Copies of this chain bind each other. A is one copy, B any other.
Amino acid sequence: MDSGQIEAVKRQILSLEKAQRMAEFFGVLGDTNRWRILSALAVQEMRVGELAEIVGMSESAVSHQLRTLRVMRLVSHERQGRNVVYRLQDDHIVNLYKEVSEHLDEPH
């Protein structure tokens, strides 16, 4: 590669901003407990306390994580009386899970 080609690639790669947005999103999925929470919500929508018991975390920790998931619009929430019900916002995560699951299952 000569210096002209180098410059050409520089113009084609992800911008810093776009790369940051990607990293931020994938970073959210880079946590074991958040995957457990998401997989629980993939079974069915549920309240915070129920999530906490299912994944074996404190309610506070779950709440903190749900906040993160909310910001990335992976889950939506709805207050019902004194409870707050969380659900997966759409099936993007399920698709991502399937796609990556294949990758990880490939023989090395």
Cα A89 to Cα B46 with chains together (Å): 39
A-B contact pairs, 16 of them (CB 8 A): A1-B47, A6-B50, A9-B43, A9-B46, A10-B54, A12-B40, A13-B39, A13-B54, A14-B35, A16-B36, A23-B31, A27-B27, A27-B29, A92-B100, A95-B99, A96-B96
Cα A9 to Cα B20 with chains together (Å): 35
Question: When the two chains form their complex, are residues B13 and A40 in contact, meaning their CB atoms are under 8 A apart?
Answer: yes
Given A6-B54, A54-B6, A104-B21: A14 and B36 interface contact (C-beta under 8 Å): yes
- Choice from B32, B34, B53 contacting A6 with Cβ under 8 Å: B53
Given A73-B108, A96-B99, A100-B96: A35 and B22 interface contact (C-beta under 8 Å): yes
Residues of B within 8 A of A50 (CB): 1, 6, 9
Question: When the two chains form their complex, are residues A12 and B43 in contact, meaning their CB atoms are under 8 A apart?
Answer: yes
Residues of B within 8 A of A36 (CB): 13-14, 16, 19
